[in-house]
Structure 1
């Protein structure tokens, strides 16, 4: 885990509510960060979005239990299928920062 984490469940200095328990592996550097701001602060390269043809890859980490989800599975749920931890639904507004989201799916 990289970035400005504040606890062991992937919450960071930017997002730290009870539901902020997701970290995303950035396709550009293959490193898990809690958010795009943590990535921007730590890396010297710009973030790239996951192309839709790679959404089957496990790039989402549940900070509550440590399980990983595919991007496709993550985009279709609001909680971890393994431990039932609730995910922050507000993260959907930032999807375009992490995933190459076709406008019809945004």
Structure 2
């Protein structure tokens, strides 16, 4: 799974990877956006934050399980 930074609009595996490669910190995406902000790392299916949060820790397209620990960082990726 990858998350998109609202500032640079690029996908990264995690906010730490983003921060190590950029001069700005990871900026969360609004929960209300209709833009895609999460991408499955297996099939590359893109989801809005709402679609991701309702996916129950698995990709709705390929059903690959997401890392359940990512839910601990919900406030880092979404606002």
User: TM above 0.5, one fold?
Assistant: yes
User: Where do 4+ consecutive residues of structure 1 move more than 2 Å?
Assistant: none
Q: What is the number of residues matched between the two proteins?
A: 78
**Partner residue in 2 for 1:7:** none
Aligned mate of 1:40, from 19, 30, 41: 19
Partner Cα separation in structure 1 for residue 15 and residue 26 of structure 2: 8
Q: Residues 24-103 of structure 1: matches in 2 within 5 Å? A: 24-54=3-33, 56-77=34-55, 78-100=57-79
Partner Cα separation in structure 2 for residue 66 and residue 58 of structure 1: 12
Higher Cα radius of gyration: 1
RMSD (Å), alpha carbons? 1.0
Partner Cα separation in structure 2 for residue 24 and residue 43 of structure 1: 15
Give the structure-2-normalised TM-score.
0.91
Identify unmatched segments of 5+ residues in structure 2. none
Give the structure-1-normalised TM-score.
0.69
The one of the two structures with greater contact order (alpha-carbon pairs below 8 A, sep at least 6) is: 2
Identify unmatched segments of 5+ residues in structure 1. 1-21, 101-106
